[in-house]
Structure 1
């Protein structure tokens, strides 16, 4: 046979051999390994059953909210999620917003802000997201949701200071100060009355504040807020099924009242459900929210 035919036949034989090995043999070998004791459940997604039904996975978080999106008061709440509309395995990921993302994009119509955020004509900065979540958690749990660099209204406490600057870029004599994340028509007055003797204004959509220097105002919130960090920030995957024991204990009082049981029993349940660090030194102690809520229902059923 001509040499070019022999070469093509050799390539074809190699293709067939590799197809059998890599395309059939290897997948079958991996599939067979998943049936070894201790691995099958994990290979199937570590699914969790209760009452004869599959209700979730140990590995993927889920919200415990009512149809309107409000928290179900009888259950422990998960941390926020930036995966799709929340805990979407097909859209796993974080928000990609960093610590310098502190200025909001204001909506045209403040009354329809949520729709504009979905349409991406408005956007809350990472700071405002943290502030609003902290305020909401504080209201739900009956504690202060105050955090550094947050206004009492739950947005980022950020000013645009306009005026002449020195050679280092610092404004030496402010002539105008605007609270960038507090929109006129939404707030009666900004969180700060004056800044360096200049009256603070609320922000208006469409106005150009780029000549100003952005200044974040810490405020009087404690350095260690009552609402823990994992209650107001999403995980990198958006699918984390765990919360910190501190966040779980913050919710104990509400759950005890809602279910009509002593708070000490709910706290004991949290202690019993706490998972230690991986391998004894990796990560932080945590609580699986789904498993905790299942055990909560088993021990202290909710009666409306």
Structure 2
């Protein structure tokens, strides 16, 4: 009787295990999950939760998208989504946050800090919707109001507005009795003490936080009720309808708290804009 060598028996056993697990986990399990996903009530979500309008797919209710013209300017007749840091915006293959933290307040190498990004977005949203877009620690021009005070201790000898490259006019004329300079090329703001200036903006800005910050995934299809309410008058004016009509559509696109207690009510922007086109078509 021929007996296979021990090393060969071990290899054959490993091969059999590989074939079994491949069949179970690589074929049977995916087929079972796919079959369950096609059950009524689950099929739409499993297929991507696509939304259709006028007989064609216009997006997914789970993924945000832009409502802008060819130059990237916001279309006034539509509600605008939350900003996105996923790829070029709302890219499911590049879902991510900006990786910028609350202490990121100094622009470097032409790249905006988180503070300046928030300031510029708030200014733009305010101008688009006809409200005050000012925020604490932001300049009127829409960058972070941050100074570099030199030396780091004692009486100031030199003060630089680090986020305002020359020839910009600094947002304040002087600090500690010293004239404030614009930031010249090559200056290192870390040479001084970094001092953010609060300014006179209200403690509760008119522009809500979700209008100026991206979500963790960069794909959030919702905005807060506050941000939707801020945009309602602008959208109503662009479409030539009463603002009350638009606010009723906002209410219809608002979802409640998850499980009744988690999170905050939110407005699905794509669903709202589709409802707008049906109830109050744009005539511009």
Do the structures match in fold with TM over 0.5?
A: yes
Instruction: Please state how far the C-alpha of 1:4 moved relative to its aligned partner.
Output: 2.3
For 1:12 and 1:84, how far apart are their aligned partners in 2? 42
Question: Which residue matches 1:250?
Answer: 230
Question: Which residue matches 2:136?
Answer: 148
For 1:209 and 1:227, how far apart are their aligned partners in 2? 29
Query: Which residues of structure 2 form unaligned runs of 5+?
Result: none
Q: Give the counterpart of 2:210 among 216, 221, 230.
A: 230
Structure 1 residues 128-159: Cα deviation after superposition (integer angstroms, max 9, x where no partner) = 00000000000100111000000000000000
Instruction: Please state how far the C-alpha of 1:91 moved relative to its aligned partner.
Output: 0.6
Question: Which residue matches 2:187?
Answer: 207
Question: Which residue matches 2:262?
Answer: 282
Question: Which residue matches 2:165?
Answer: 183
Instruction: Please state how far the C-alpha of 1:6 moved relative to its aligned partner.
Output: 2.0
Instruction: Please state how far the C-alpha of 1:3 moved relative to its aligned partner.
Output: 2.3
Report the 3-state secondary structure (helix = DSSP H, G, I; strand = E; otherwise coil) of the residue aligned with 2:68.
Answer: coil
Report the 3-state secondary structure (helix = DSSP H, G, I; strand = E; otherwise coil) of the residue aligned with 1:210.
Answer: helix
What TM-score, normalized by structure 1, do the two folds share?
0.91
Question: Which residue matches 2:20?
Answer: 17
Structure 1 residues 38-75: Cα deviation after superposition (integer angstroms, max 9, x where no partner) = 00000001000111101000100000000000001100
Instruction: Please state how far the C-alpha of 1:182 moved relative to its aligned partner.
Output: 0.6
For 2:162 and 2:189, how far apart are their aligned partners in 1? 8
Q: Give the counterpart of 1:259 among 223, 234, 239.
A: 239
Question: Which residue matches 2:272?
Answer: 292
Instruction: Please state how far the C-alpha of 1:86 moved relative to its aligned partner.
Output: 0.6
Task: Please identify runs of 4+ aligned residues in structure 1 that moved more than 6 A.
Answer: none
Q: What is the number of residues matched between the two proteins?
A: 281
What TM-score, normalized by structure 2, do the two folds share?
0.97
Question: Which residue matches 1:91?
Answer: 94
Query: Which residues of structure 1 form unaligned runs of 5+?
Result: 107-121, 166-170
